[in-house]
Amino acid sequence: MAVGSEIFPSTMHPVAGFKLGVASAGIKKPGRRDVVLMEIAPESTVVGVFTLNAFCAAPVQLCKRHLETHSARYLLTNTGNANAGTGAQGVEDAQRCVDAVAQLCGAVSEEVLPFSTGVIGEPLPVDKIVAALDDAKADLKEDNWRLAAEGIHTTDTRLKGASVQVELGGKTVTLTGISKGSGMIQPNMATMLGYVATDAKIEQSVLQTLLRSSTDRSFNRITVDSDTSTNDSCMLVATGISGVEVSSEADLAVFAEALDRVMLDLAHAIVRDGEGATKFIAIEVEKAAAQKEALDVAFTVAHSPLVKTALFASDANWGRILAAVGRAGVEKLDIDALQIWLDNVCIVENGGRAAQYTEEAGAAVMAQEDITIRIVLNRGDVAEKVWTTDLSHDYVSINADYRS
């Protein structure tokens, strides 16, 4: 189940210097494409952001270590097994996969970054993954984005991709990316897994700043179920092969806007494919006194099981939204000064139900697939947006049956 129509782009522009290969290791299901190898051109710049979960998975630990000393040449992803909660053995298993890629491709181990997604707490089937590497290497192509998007997904029902091109210095610069994620989504830094590549040339510290800023405006503004994964990783690669160096203030602004477009498309695709989702909900908080209180209000509403189940039922039970706003922890909140809207229908003002509100108008909005909850605090000039889903019977079924 997913919200809206299929949104994977018909055109995924290849990024010069970035190749993707897909193979089947049969980790969870025989014949399923579940191993993805990505090859990065020499002299590229590679940066990443990772989960803040204290039980960060073994591959995340290795990624962080390797990025501290080397520039990545290969990214290896497996699905069907998260290699998280696996202790020292998990790190050793991830290292064995990394070593196998390095030996196969003529790299050093620190130039290989591993990524895993799937069931937590199970030993990584290293032999199956290593056996699939020859096929993945033989499949390396710059136009393999769609198959790679298929290769990294787990409970996803849709492939997730985005691709844009912009003009910089009279030349075309490409940004293309894929992501996966459907449940265990409140990315406390990034999404479950995300890979974005560009052929622009960008200095590493600048690229890292661009990634963090864009992540904060996209993946860190989505939630399906308020659970932060052990494996969240988002990578940004700049191959530089276009010859366009992004360094001036004007070029950086254009590039940042394009990156935000890609990242937001990928983030929204995750929400629209949220486990069991039937609604895509934008929660906009306006006129807050500070960013933190705006986000506190937005996420409190987004995480409320009562709000989410009312959304699923198309039940205009506006009191649930009001109650969530009231418990968001905003100091000295003037409830008489704020308004709450469902799309263009005002539901709360002057401390209670809006005088002009009707149940029919509220129910009409709640029946839509795309809904905006707008909360105007009237305390300042800060605004923030968060995107989420409803909570359906299917979400419970998917997660109750996940390992069976």
Please give the average per-residue pLDDT across 45-60, as a whole number.
95
Please give the average per-residue pLDDT across 209-234, as a whole number.
93
Task: Indicate the class that CATH gives domain 280-400.
Answer: alpha beta
Q: What burial class does residue 184 get, using C-beta atoms within 10 Å of its C-beta: 0-12 exposed, 13-18 middle, 19+ buried?
A: buried
The yes-or-no verdict on residue 404 having pLDDT over 70 is no
Per-residue pLDDT band for 348 (boundaries 50, 70, 90) equals: very high
How many residues comprise the chain? 404
The yes-or-no verdict on residue 40 having pLDDT over 70 is yes
Q: What is the pLDDT of residue 225?
A: 85
The yes-or-no verdict on residue 403 having pLDDT over 80 is no
- Residue 162: helix, strand or coil by DSSP? strand
User: At CA 293, angle to CA 378 and CA 284, rounded to 5?
Assistant: 65
Could you count the other beta carbons within 10 Å of the beta carbon of residue 343? 16
* Domain boundaries along the sequence of the chain: 18-272, 280-400
Architecture (CATH level 2) of domain 18-272 = 4-Layer Sandwich (3.60)
Q: 142: number of CA atoms within 13 Å, CB side?
A: 15
Please give the average per-residue pLDDT across 126-135, as a whole number.
98
Distance CA 311, CA 282 (A): 12
Beta carbons of 174 and 188 less than 8 angstroms apart: no
User: At CA 124, angle to CA 119 and CA 126, rounded to 5?
Assistant: 145
Q: Which of 51, 77, 191, 389 is catalytic?
A: 191
Give the residue from 354, 352, 335, 331 showing the smallest Cα distance to 344.
354
Q: Which residues on adjacent β-strands are paired with residue 165?
A: 174
CA trace torsion 194, 196, 175, 263 (10° rounding) = 40
Per-residue pLDDT band for 58 (boundaries 50, 70, 90) equals: very high
Give the residue from 348, 371, 347 showing the smallest Cα distance to 360.
347
Q: What is the pLDDT of residue 2?
A: 80
Q: Which backbone phi and psi does 244 adopt, to 5 degrees?
A: -90, 115
Strands (DSSP E) along 111-264, which ranges?
A: 112-119, 160-168, 171-180, 193-198, 233-238
- Residue 102: helix, strand or coil by DSSP? helix
Residue with tokens 């661009």: 210
Pure H helices in 350-404: 359-366, 393-400
Q: Which backbone phi and psi does 284 adopt, to 5 degrees?
A: -110, 125
Distance CA 103, CA 179 (A): 27
Do β-strands 280-288 and 339-342 pair in parallel, antiparallel, or remain unpaired? Answer: unpaired
Do β-strands 18-24 and 33-40 pair in parallel, antiparallel, or remain unpaired? Answer: antiparallel
**pLDDT tens for each residue of 289-322:** 999 999 999 999 999 999 999 999 999 999 999 9
Do β-strands 193-198 and 233-238 pair in parallel, antiparallel, or remain unpaired? Answer: parallel
Please give the average per-residue pLDDT across 156-166, as a whole number.
95
Per-residue pLDDT band for 253 (boundaries 50, 70, 90) equals: very high
- In what order do the strands lie in the sheet containing 171-180? 45-50, 233-238, 193-198, 171-180, 160-168
Distances in Å between the Cα of 260 and the Cα atoms of 35, 56, 89, 99 are 28, 26, 38, 34
Q: Which residues on adjacent β-strands are paired with residue 86?
A: none
Distance CA 219, CA 52 (A): 14
Distance CA 388, CA 404 (A): 27
- Residue 395: helix, strand or coil by DSSP? helix
Backbone conformation region of residue 130, classed left if phi is above 0, alpha if psi is from -120 to 50, else beta: alpha
- pTM higher than 0.85: yes
Please give the average per-residue pLDDT across 125-130, as a whole number.
98
Any catalytic annotation for residue 191? yes
The yes-or-no verdict on residue 324 having pLDDT over 70 is yes
Contacts of 180 (CB under 8 A, 6+ apart): 79, 117, 149, 152, 153, 154, 156, 160, 191, 192, 193, 194, 270
Q: What is the pLDDT of residue 281?
A: 98
Assigned token pair, 144: 């393999």
The yes-or-no verdict on residue 144 having pLDDT over 80 is yes
Per-residue pLDDT band for 3 (boundaries 50, 70, 90) equals: confident
